[in-house]
């Protein structure tokens, strides 16, 4: 089972979901804007993600810019995402062992290897 941290308004997120569904993968969709991750979930995600913690942040979002937080400080990243779930990079596919940011969406297919 793969959990997809998903925003249906995001084209990359929709593409990632379609890629998984086309391959018959069991997908649990988590709309993280409606059901935000808490600090413990983000820490666990960071331990599994195949990217640096700073890559979890959408730095172009006004909420991130207003915080003036340090992208290289994992705790500041976690606090920022908990306070503003909109700044979480998307999509993220997570199989419980590894998590991959789907930028580009095809990157998530590595979880199927």
Active site residues: 10
How far is residue 51's CA from residue 107's CA, in Å, rounded to a whole number?
12
Contacts of 53 (CB under 8 A, 6+ apart): 46, 71, 72, 74, 77, 78
Asked whether 17 and 110 are in contact (CB, 8 A), the reply is: no
How far is residue 87's CA from residue 30's CA, in Å, rounded to a whole number?
16
């Amino acid at each position: 089972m793969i959990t997809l941290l998903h925003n249906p308004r995001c084209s990359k997120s929709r593409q990632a979901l379609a890629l998984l569904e086309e391959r018959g993968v069991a997908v649990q969709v988590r709309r993280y804007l409606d059901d935000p991750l808490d600090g413990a979930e983000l820490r666990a995600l960071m331990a599994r993600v195949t990217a640096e913690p700073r890559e979890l942040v959408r730095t172009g979002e006004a909420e991130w810019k207003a915080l003036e937080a340090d992208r290289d400080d994992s705790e500041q990243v976690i606090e920022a995402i908990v306070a503003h779930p909109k700044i979480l990079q998307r999509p993220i596919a997570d199989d419980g062992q590894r998590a991959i940011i789907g930028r580009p969406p095809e990157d998530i297919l590595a979880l199927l290897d």
